[in-house]
Structure formats: structure tokens, C-alpha cells
Amino acid sequence: MANKEIKRIAVFTSGGDAPGMNAAIRATVRNAINNDLHVYGIMRGYEGMINGDIRRLETKDVGNIIHRGGTVLKTARSMRFMTPEGRKQAYENLMFNDIDALVAIGGNGTFTGASVFMQEYPDIPILGVPGTIDNDLFGTDFSIGFDTAVNTAVQAVDKIRDTADSHNRLFFVEVMGRDSGYIALHTAIAGGAGGVLLPEEESSLDDLVKLLKRSAKRAKLFSIVIVAEGNHMGTVYDIARHVEEKIDIYDDIKVSVIGHLQRGGSPSSFDRVLASVLGFTAVDALLEGKSGCMIGIKNNNAHYTPFKDAINNSKTFNKSLLRMAHILAQ
């Protein structure tokens, strides 16, 4: 299909919110206006597209948001967009507003939706910006929100360490990440954890118990184990109960689930810069005729990955980082 001239673009956030999404919205809007485009914001992702909740955005509308967590455009996980009727309605609303192109900020579900939509309605180019704390998208070293989420988790672990040490307790701390262990691995390394359980690795409770017993031999009477929510061994409560049956080192064993604290809060400077670069470059990319892909960062350079590859390939773990985390945990 020949590239059509882009005059009006719309930006939206979809799926789980991630700190830094506002910086990406701001950069998209301001670079678009700098290129004499009209910019629109779609509220609540694909839901707003279906409902026709589409608003004009000016430079001032994205002022004073770079430091705010969440997303000023709000977000949703839309079930209706999974149906052909929902997507048809969304397309009609985009046509009604004369939208020529889209910037989609989100994760796996967002790009799956974008990919299906583009097959049905190829006349609307879409550029994806990776925004998810999980950092699970193939084609980018980092996604927006990951750095902030890890920092939040590490702050929590530092606090738990104080009380764990005072009481000679073992803590199991569950972090988010869905099926990905990136948040867990980085939190374990930065938080000096005594163990880490990840979805990407087959490990056993016996191995964990051995590791904790080895640490106890050097008079370490407290410990913190980071558990990725998607690990293979069950819920963090099951894991704690099983370990309790096999170990008699600590005064007590406790569980702490950090949960949605990891999704909120003011974005780190890393996430603000990453989001600004990606949001800004997404507009340039659309104007250069790119479409149907996610813009990411690889080795500090912009990198484009077709939606189908970003969603169908799993992002491989850095094995040496994993090995290091296990050695340092001892």
C-alpha cells in the first residue's frame, strides 16, 4: 500500500499502566506538533477507540505530567477489541475523526490488538512504544516502567531486610512480571537477596533449602528470597509453607507481596528519558513511512521489531546475569 500523507495522529495507552507512560505521551504529542500534525488522545486505550472517546491534544495538555506515574490518557484491558465488531466500531470512530496514524503505548496485549487491527484495516499505520513494567518484549533491551518498578521493589526489599535481620526471619518477597522474571532477577541482584525463583528456570525447593542452609553456616540468620509471580513452584505462600517444613534455621518465615506498588509512583529519570526517546522517535518513524512495528532500544540505538515478532518471540534471559545472581546469593 502506498504511504498516505499523515496529518492527524492519535496516541493511546493500553494494558497495565507503567511509570513513564506520561513522558512517552508528552514526547509523542510535542514532536507531532513540531511536525505540524494535529494530535489526538484516545482515552482508556482500545475501549476509548470503540467508544469514540477521542480528544484533541495541544502542547499545554501534556505539560506538568513528565514526573507523574500512571497515564493521563487512562488505560484498560479491552475485551471488546478482541471481537471483529469491536474493532469495526473502533475503525469507524478513527475514520470519523480523520485519524491517519496511531501511536500505541503498551505491552504484549496492546501489540497483539494492533497487529490484528492492521490486518483488517491496513490503511491506518501503527507504531508501538513498549510500555510495561514486565520488560518481557522481544526487540527492546528495556521497556518503559521496568526501571521504576525495580527501584520500587528494591526499596521495599531494603526495608524488609531491616526487620528480617532484627528478628532472624526468612522472608519470601513476591514481585510482579507475569511470565517474565526480569523484575525478580534485577530486584534480587540489586537487593542482595539470598535466593531468587524465576519462571525462566527449573529449580527445586531442595536446591533452595540447600542454598539457605549453606548461607546459615556462615551465621547468616536471616534471608530474603525474591519470588517472581510466574515461577514454576506455586504461590509464594505454598513455597513458604513447604520450605518451613524442611528448614529450622530462622525464628519465623514471612511472606510479603509487593503487588501494585510496583506499578505506581513517579518514574525514574531512566524511564523518563527512555519514554521521551521512544515517544519522540515513534512520530519520526511514522512520518518516514514505518508501520506495524514496535520501536525499542538495543545497545543504545533505536531498533524496530514487527509486532508479530515482538509478541511471538520470548525475550531471552542474560544467562551470565542469572549465574551471577545465584553465586552472589550464597
Name residues contacting ligand F6P, limited to 211-250 (CB under 6 A): 229
Nearest in space to 108 (alpha carbons), one of 135, 89, 127, 85: 135
CB of 99 to ligand F6P, least distance (A): 26
Residues in contact with ligand F6P, shown as a per-residue x/- string from 247 to 286 under the rule CB under 6 A:
----------------x-----------------------
3 state SS for the chain: CCCCCCCEEEEEECCCCCCCHHHHHHHHHHHHHHCCCEEEEECCCHHHHHHCCEEEECHHHHCCCCCCCCCCCCCCCCCHHHCHHHHHHHHHHHHHCCCCEEEEEECHHHHHHHHHHHHHCCCCCEEEEEECCCCCCCCCCCCECHHHHHHHHHHHHHHHHHHHHHHCEEEEEEECCCCCCHHHHHHHHHCCCCEEECCCCCCCHHHHHHHHHHHHHCCCCCEEEEEECCCCCCCHHHHHHHHHHHCCCCCEEEEEECHHHHHCCCCCHHHHHHHHHHHHHHHHHHHCCCCCEEEEEECCEEEEEEHHHHHHCCCCCCHHHHHHHHHHCC
Q: Answer yes or no whether residue 131 interacts with ligand F6P by CB under 6 A.
A: no
CB of 183 to ligand F6P, least distance (A): 7
CB 153 within 8 A of CB 262: yes
CB of 31 to ligand F6P, least distance (A): 26
Q: Which stretch binds ligand F6P (CB under 6 A): 98-106, 127-135, 191-199, 293-301?
A: 127-135
- How many Cβ atoms sit within 10 Å of the Cβ of residue 290? 17
Q: Which of 134, 136, 147, 271 is catalytic?
A: 134
CB of 184 to ligand F6P, least distance (A): 11
Q: Answer yes or no whether residue 134 interacts with ligand F6P by CB under 6 A.
A: yes
**Interface pick for ligand F6P out of 31, 78, 93, 132 (rule CB under 6 A):** 132
**Interface pick for ligand F6P out of 80, 178, 242, 254 (rule CB under 6 A):** 178
Residues in contact with ligand F6P, shown as a per-residue x/- string from 13 to 52 under the rule CB under 6 A:
---x------------------------------------
CB of 146 to ligand F6P, least distance (A): 10
**Interface pick for ligand F6P out of 41, 106, 177, 296 (rule CB under 6 A):** 177
CB of 125 to ligand F6P, least distance (A): 25
Q: Answer yes or no whether residue 174 interacts with ligand F6P by CB under 6 A.
A: no
Distances (CA, A) of 10 to 6, 73, 98, 108, 273: 11, 11, 10, 20, 22
Beta pairing, strands 293-298 & 301-306:
antiparallel
By rule CB under 6 A, what count of residues binds ligand F6P? 10
Q: Is 134 assigned a catalytic role?
A: yes
**Interface pick for ligand F6P out of 176, 228, 277, 287 (rule CB under 6 A):** 176
**Interface pick for ligand F6P out of 29, 66, 103, 133 (rule CB under 6 A):** 133
Nearer CB in complex with ligand F6P: 100/136: 136
Q: Answer yes or no whether residue 292 interacts with ligand F6P by CB under 6 A.
A: no
Which amino acids are annotated catalytic? Answer: 134
Under the rule (CB under 6 A), what is the footprint of ligand F6P? 16, 107, 132-134, 176-178, 229, 263
